[in-house]
């Protein structure tokens, strides 16, 4: 009995040592769950989306959405459904799927829905366009800046900045004048120097909270000339309010360690309540 027990213990020790050994060189690492996914069954999904059964269609769209950017082969199916239309539940699921896929080819199919009579449809369509991107999305979002729906207007303003739609700056200024949320930050991320100057000219004309989201992005823009940014810092200093000082503090804290020395010095000077000097010939 003792002998059998001894052999059993030895077997356990050998097994434990083998399990603790590192994998041999050249051995393949375990595959991640994402890489072990089976390919999308596109024909099956196509049948589901053409079935007319709402539950089946939504389930297929949710399956596509779950694949994210890896679900590209299903994009034509989603686009075809968007062009055909469907129930509210199906369309909302389709917008989520299109957004998850992030294919520019979906933008033309999504675009008309930003003008839909139902608020949940037009709001979901606007969000999807921010994800799908491209010229068709940017054009639709520019139109959406004048939507009757404030949520759509705000999404459009934010989305144009995220899409880098520099040709939409003039439209964003119109939206800014109507105090559309997101307009200031998008202008700040897109504006050319003269347009950035125009944004700062609104200080004192519009409510500070309308402009505030644009200040820090503007001051941290690497491609914007230092002279412009120093002028903006001094303009905010002259407001001498808690909120303007908070903006300057946030900008200073957000500067990377290797950020512009002149910008850092100007922010520190302004926070001490002293004027920021800008040389006429400073770039």
**Over the stretch 110-148, which tens digit does the pLDDT of each residue have?**
999 999 999 999 999 999 999 999 999 999 999 999 999
Instruction: Indicate the pTM of the whole model.
Output: 0.84
Quick one: DSSP state of residue 223?
T
Write the pLDDT tens digit of every residue in 209-220: 999 999 999 999
Domain count, the chain: 1
CA distance 149 to 115: 9
231 in a structural domain:
yes
Helix residue spans in 68-133 (DSSP H): 75-84, 88-101, 107-110, 119-132
Q: How many angstroms from the chain centroid is the CA of residue 103? A: 15
Residue 279: predicted pLDDT: 77
| Dihedral sign computed on CA atoms, order 118, 123, 124, 125 | positive
> Where in the sequence is the domain holding 218, given as residue range(s)?
196-283
CA distance 105 to 131: 11
How many CB atoms neighbour CB 265 within 10 A? Answer: 13
Mean predicted confidence (pLDDT) in 20-41: 54
264 in a structural domain:
yes
Quick one: DSSP state of residue 32?
P
Write the pLDDT tens digit of every residue in 45-96: 999 999 999 999 999 999 999 999 999 999 999 999 999 999 999 999 999 9
Residue 29: predicted pLDDT: 45
251 in a structural domain:
yes
Residue 66: predicted pLDDT: 97
43 in a structural domain:
no
Of 231, 236, 224, 213, which Cα lies nearest the Cα of 260?
Answer: 224
Stronger pLDDT, 11 or 257, i.e. the higher one: 257
253 in a structural domain:
yes
């Amino acid at each position: 009995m003792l002998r059998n027990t001894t052999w059993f213990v030895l077997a356990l020790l050998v097994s434990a040592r083998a399990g603790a050994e590192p994998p041999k060189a050249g051995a393949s690492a375990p595959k991640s769950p994402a890489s072990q996914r089976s390919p999308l069954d596109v024909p099956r999904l196509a049948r589901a989306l053409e079935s007319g059964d709402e539950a089946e269609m939504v389930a297929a769209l949710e399956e596509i959405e779950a694949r994210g950017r890896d679900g590209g082969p299903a994009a034509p199916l989603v686009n075809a459904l968007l062009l055909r239309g469907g129930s509210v539940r199906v369309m909302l699921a389709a917008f989520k799927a299109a957004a998850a896929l992030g294919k520019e080819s979906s933008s033309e199919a999504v675009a008309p829905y930003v003008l839909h009579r139902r608020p949940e449809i037009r709001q979901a369509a606007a969000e999807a366009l921010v994800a799908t991107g491209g010229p068709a999305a940017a054009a639709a979002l520019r139109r959406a800046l004048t939507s009757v729906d404030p949520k759509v207007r705000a999404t459009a303003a934010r989305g144009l900045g995220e899409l880098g739609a520099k040709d939409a700056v003039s439209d964003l200024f119109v939206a800014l004048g109507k105090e559309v949320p997101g307009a200031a930050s998008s202008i700040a991320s897109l504006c050319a120097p003269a347009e950035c100057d125009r944004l700062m000219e609104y200080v004192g004309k519009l409510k500070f909270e309308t402009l505030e989201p644009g200040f820090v992005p503007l001051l941290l823009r690497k491609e914007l000339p230092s002279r412009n940014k120093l002028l903006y810092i001094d303009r905010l200093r002259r407001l001498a309010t808690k909120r303007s000082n908070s903006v300057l503090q946030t900008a200073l804290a957000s500067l990377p360690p290797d950020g512009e020395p002149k910008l850092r010095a100007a922010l520190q000077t302004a926070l001490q309540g002293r004027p920021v000097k800008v040389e006429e010939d400073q770039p």
